[in-house]
Amino acid sequence: MTQAHGAAAAVEDGARAGWVLAAAALLGMVLSNSALASAWHALLDARWGLTLGPLHLVESNLRWINDALMALFFLQVGIEIKREWLFGALSDRRARVLPVAAALGGMLVPALVFAAVNAGHPRNLSGWAVPAATDIAFALGLMALFARGLPARARVFLTAVAVLDDLGAVMIIAAFYTAQLSGPMLGLAVATVIAMGLLANFGLRRAWPYLALGLLLWWWVLHSGVHPTVAGVLTGVLLPQQRDGGAGQRVERALAPVVTWAVLPLFALANAGIELHGSLGELLRSPVTWGVALGLLLGKPLGILGGVFAASRAGGGLPAGYSWRLMLALSGFCGVGFTMSLFIADLAWPDGAAVFDAARMGVLLGTLLAVGAGSVTAARLYPRRSSRKAVRDRARP
């Protein structure tokens, strides 16, 4: 397969994934506001699990999706972080500076925007991190759908920023969104991580020992007070990778269709539904709604552009191949915070408070507005060309 055909296939796959994720979110909204709403919420709340002697794990369907299935998504994120760091857009020390600065700015400014909008409402401030992370899959999918004139470098840069964003989001989850910590369980989790590190140090290249220990790690972390999806990221980072393949890449290839076509649509279906009847006006008046929406729509691009500006001033200008035109064209798509934003909102208000619905409305509204703004900006700055020429342009670094 030529580079041009590979680039075209990646764009088309991203576009299809974007449509599926959007359709799942829309279906969740419809179910939550239809005659089936009661049955739908009863299905999400239905509890099941296993009890084997001292082992007891019974959760609702919603929690199984958010705590167990999403660990597979975070396992993929961990593998992507390591791959990009070793062999991809973050492999060169100088090349790391720009996306690192962009990601830092893109997390800080949205959090500040949310805090400013909610300054008079202290109880809302636990959601400060909701607009701070970019959704890799959704952002790339929507950019593939609505900004087909952008060059391939835009996808590489957005991937690097989103990967670093997700790493930052995982650190935020571990540091700020934890329940009461269990020392023994944390100790067992640390011992399991050390064991995986020793396997890698001894040169073990097979995937299954890491995945078996990763499952054990998920169990320890689940009962430690730290969110269990952190186990997925750690396992992904510890899986061995080589430039020409390896356990990490094999696991990533196996995970990709499962995560893209099952895990993320299920998460969107279960978490995007907001009951609008009688409360739409109240949701649109909530400072949480607008704190999240403006954080994604304005805070994200401003933070990213500010981070890029600071890095370019410190480094003597933008690296070769990058321009302010490109930064401006893709910065809007960094405001797509769908999966990670909904995930953090669920952790910020775990009791199902009404403010959680406002946060979900803010995520949906902010994402839609960010995609609209990004699409218009990209279309003006990078008009779509003829199909054959567009494929060549997108494949060109």
| Per-residue pLDDT reduced to its tens digit, 288-304 | 999 999 999 999 999 99
Tokens of 228: 């269990």
Per-chain mean pLDDT for the chain: 85
Whether residue 206 lies inside any domain: the answer is: no
* pLDDT given for residue 291 in this prediction: 97
Nearest-angstrom CA–CA distance, 353 and 67: 19
pLDDT at 390 over 70: no
Prediction pTM value: 0.81
* pLDDT given for residue 386 in this prediction: 47
* pLDDT given for residue 9 in this prediction: 52
Whether residue 201 lies inside any domain: the answer is: no
Nearest-angstrom CA–CA distance, 310 and 330: 18
Amino acid, res. 322 = Y
Number of compact structural domains in the chain: 1
Whether residue 121 lies inside any domain: the answer is: yes
Q: Say which residues have a Cβ less than 8 Å from residue 278's Cβ, sequence separation at least 6.
A: none
- Bin 49: left if φ > 0, else alpha if -120 < ψ < 50, else beta: left
Query: What DSSP letter does each residue of 140-194 carry, written as one string?
Result: HHHHHHH-TTS-HHHHHHHHHHHHHHHHHHHHHHHHHS--S--HHHHHHHHHHHH
Whether residue 163 lies inside any domain: the answer is: yes
Query: For residue 24, what are the CA distances in angstroms to 45, 242, 285?
Result: 19, 35, 26
Q: Domain range for residue 299?
A: 3-25+55-177+227-395
pLDDT at 119 over 90: yes
Nearest-angstrom CA–CA distance, 228 and 182: 13
Averaged over 29-44, what is the pLDDT?
A: 91
Nearest-angstrom CA–CA distance, 104 and 307: 7
Tens of pLDDT along 221-262?
A: 988 888 787 899 899 999 999 888 889 999 999 999 999 899
Tokens of 159: 């991937």
**Residue that wins the pLDDT comparison between 299 and 388:** 299
**Residue among 283, 285, 295 nearest 115 (CA):** 295
Query: Domain of 13: which CATH number?
Result: 1.20.1530.10
∠ Cα 302 303 308 (to 5°): 100
Averaged over 336-350, what is the pLDDT?
A: 85
* pLDDT given for residue 241 in this prediction: 92
Nearest-angstrom CA–CA distance, 101 and 248: 27
pLDDT at 266 over 90: yes
* pLDDT given for residue 173 in this prediction: 84
Of 134-138, 313-317, 327-331, where does mean pLDDT reach its minimum? 134-138
**Residue that wins the pLDDT comparison between 388 and 237:** 237
Whether residue 343 lies inside any domain: the answer is: yes
* pLDDT given for residue 327 in this prediction: 92
Amino acid, res. 53 = G
Q: Are 366 and 293 in contact, with CB atoms under 8 Å apart?
A: yes
Tokens of 362: 């803010």
Whether residue 59 lies inside any domain: the answer is: yes
User: What percentage of the chain exceeds 70 in pLDDT?
Assistant: 91
Whether residue 218 lies inside any domain: the answer is: no
Whether residue 32 lies inside any domain: the answer is: no
Instruction: Give the N- to C-terminal CA distance of the chain in Å, as an integer.
Output: 17
* pLDDT given for residue 2 in this prediction: 47
- Cβ count within 10 A of residue 197: 12
Tens of pLDDT along 318-340?
A: 877 788 999 999 898 989 888 88
Averaged over 269-283, what is the pLDDT?
A: 78
Tens of pLDDT along 152-208?
A: 788 888 888 887 888 888 888 888 887 677 889 989 999 999 999 999 999 899 999
* pLDDT given for residue 227 in this prediction: 78
Nearest-angstrom CA–CA distance, 235 and 319: 33
**Residue among 266, 56, 236 nearest 163 (CA):** 236
* pLDDT given for residue 29 in this prediction: 87
Q: Are 328 and 305 in contact, with CB atoms under 8 Å apart?
A: yes
pLDDT at 314 over 50: yes
**Strands, E assignment, 245-379:** none
Of 9-13, 186-190, 389-393, where does mean pLDDT reach its minimum? 389-393
**Residue among 245, 255, 241 nearest 70 (CA):** 255
